[in-house]
Chains A and B, each alone.
Chain A
Amino acid sequence: MSDREIVTVEEWEKPLPRTDAISAPYWEAAAQGRLLIQECASCGNRQWYPRAMCTKCGGDVTWLECSGRGEVYTFTVIRQMGMRPFRDELPYAIAMVRLEEGPLIFGNVTDVDPDDVRVGLPVEVWFTKVDDEIGVPSWRPA
């Protein structure tokens, strides 16, 4: 497992997850630089976002640590946004990323001119550490 960059921030002014029993491990792993999805022990299904059961067969799931690699499946460049602090960062890219492991994940694409984001762009995950409980995964060109 290659090291994933973690950037610690003093202040986070954007909305945050209100974590629950299922989501807390996901966000805590991200704070430690690990991207988790879930895999079903019975049917092998892999899924994101984390849930209390398998979306395919309803059975029990376990955590699976991802490689952190993927590619952009689709995206948009947000050019109008009323809410701060996002408004101060316009324009920025939002994407669905196809993980190497299979599922799609929602996130930002950073460290690239938004006009250069394209479907198929290979990306890798990096993390913003908000605190010990929450890290926010983002994506940048691999």
Chain B
Amino acid sequence: MDRTPVIAGIGLSDYPKAPHLDTVQHHVLAMQRALADCGIEKSEIDGYINASSGGMMVDDPVTMAEYLRIDHRYIDGTMTGGSSFEFHLQHLAAAIQEGLCDVALVTYGSDQLTRMGRKLGTGGFQRGGQKVPGPVQYEVPYGGSLVGSYAMYATRHAHEFGTTSEQLAEIAVGVREFAGLNPNAIYRDPITVDDVVNSRMIADPLHKLDCCAITDGGGALVVTTAERAKDLKQPPVYVLGAAGAQTHWNISQQTDFTTSAGALAGPIAFERAGVTHDDVDLLMFYDSFTITCLILLESLGFVPQGEGGPFVAEGHLKRGGKWPLNTDGGGLSSCHPGMRGIFLLIESVRQLRGQGGEAQVPGCEVALAAGSGGWLSCIGVVLTGREHP
């Protein structure tokens, strides 16, 4: 039996603003749409995966498996932040090949915007006077922010390689162009490099338009064997190769602020997939910030380290370019509830099926999804393709 792993179904919950849905409802709606997308019955699902999102036990894996009533024989709750879903695919690709499950469901949902507003990047996570345990205790007296942590990468990258704000801005401009083609994207008006560098500075050198949006949203994937996928409704998208690696978790423990664990995970994923950078037609990078994309581009080996700035300024990541980036409008301009990794995979599938509409990358045969979780801490890489490997 052909047990090549296939993403057979995708589903998106409502976004960018969904005050009618709470986190659990996002998971449910995404699942319903993914099941309808591929035509599989919920009763056939025998594997359940999601990223535990905290200690509240509301939408963690065992609770959601119970709520959704998925009587699984395979469960995964790997939590690496936003890249969790790429790590999930790494695990699922092996699990499905091995026969640990036949039909797996991955879900994600968040009412981040409706419940918390826009505090994620700059709110600070603690209260004054709060006593904080664990490694974060060494950071909390100082007033850092999520944006600030990523900004420190941009500062060091500029110091070592001369990367400019204008170059970073080109990334935001290109992704916004794709958002203009997505009726659901939160920000659709075209922007220029000047717009980005003149937008309010949040944490030097990152401006407001260097930072991702905050939205509500959810997503789901149905992953199964190529054999099973033959009888389902959509063209199969094959998982060619996946890998994940971690260099640190908390920002204080990063030792090189110009790179990422993509340098470890990328080569493994490419080797397993048996493809090269030139074979890749679509980049779906976790665009928490423009600098995140730049560092992923370099550390994954698309360009030599330090050359990312000039490269993106030449337009290679834009619509019509060599490696179009984030054709759904990304986290920068479309959808980012707090963890974006599942949307990288959903858009990869949509494009590889040829269902990208106006945003379709012509001749899209191979996509690379690179999730970044934590503070560019855990990088998960998933290569998918239209042709059976």
Interface residues of B (CB under 8 A from A): 119, 122-124, 126-133, 135, 137-145, 147-148, 151-153, 155-156, 159, 200-206, 251-255, 257
CB-based closest 6 A-B pairs:
A83-B124, A17-B137, A86-B143, A76-B151, A18-B131, A15-B140
The reply to whether B143 and A83 contact each other, CB–CB distance below 8 Å, is: yes
Shortest C-beta distance, B388 to chain A (Å), equals 44
In the complex, what residue of chain A is closest to B150 when comparing beta carbons?
A76
The reply to whether B129 and A96 contact each other, CB–CB distance below 8 Å, is: no
Question: Which residue in A16, A83, A106 is a CB contact (below 8 Å) of B123?
Answer: A83
The reply to whether B155 and A136 contact each other, CB–CB distance below 8 Å, is: no
In the complex, what residue of chain A is closest to B159 when comparing beta carbons?
A119
**Chain A, 1-29, contact with B by CB distance < 8 Å: what is the 0/1 string?**
00000000000111111111001000000
Q: Pull 5 A–B residue pairs with CB atoms less than 8 Å apart, ordered by A.
A: A16-B140, A77-B204, A83-B126, A119-B156, A136-B141
Given contacts A14-B128, A14-B141, contact A76 B152 (CB under 8 A): yes
The reply to whether B144 and A94 contact each other, CB–CB distance below 8 Å, is: yes
Question: Which residue in B131, B139, B204 is a CB contact (below 8 Å) of A76?
Answer: B204
CA of A20 to CA of B135 in the docked complex: distance in angstroms?
11
In the complex, what residue of chain B is closest to A72 when comparing beta carbons?
B155
Contacts of B203 in A (CB 8 A): 76-80, 94
Inter-chain contact total with CB atoms closer than 8 Å: 132
The reply to whether B142 and A107 contact each other, CB–CB distance below 8 Å, is: yes
The reply to whether A92 and B132 contact each other, CB–CB distance below 8 Å, is: no
The reply to whether B128 and A78 contact each other, CB–CB distance below 8 Å, is: no
In the complex, what residue of chain B is closest to A96 when comparing beta carbons?
B152
The reply to whether A89 and B142 contact each other, CB–CB distance below 8 Å, is: no
Given contacts A74-B156, A82-B123, contact A17 B131 (CB under 8 A): yes
Contacts of B142 in A (CB 8 A): 94, 106-108, 138
Interface residues of A (CB under 8 A from B): 12-20, 23, 48-49, 73-86, 89, 92, 94-96, 104-108, 114, 119, 136, 138
Shortest C-beta distance, A89 to chain B (Å), equals 7
Shortest C-beta distance, A53 to chain B (Å), equals 14
Contacts of A15 in B (CB 8 A): 126-132, 140-141
Contacts of B148 in A (CB 8 A): 76, 78, 94
CA of A119 to CA of B156 in the docked complex: distance in angstroms?
8
The reply to whether B138 and A18 contact each other, CB–CB distance below 8 Å, is: no
In the complex, what residue of chain A is closest to B128 when comparing beta carbons?
A13
Question: Which residue in B140, B156, B202 is a CB contact (below 8 Å) of A14?
Answer: B140
Contacts of A107 in B (CB 8 A): 142
Given contacts A76-B204, A77-B203, A80-B122, contact A17 B143 (CB under 8 A): no
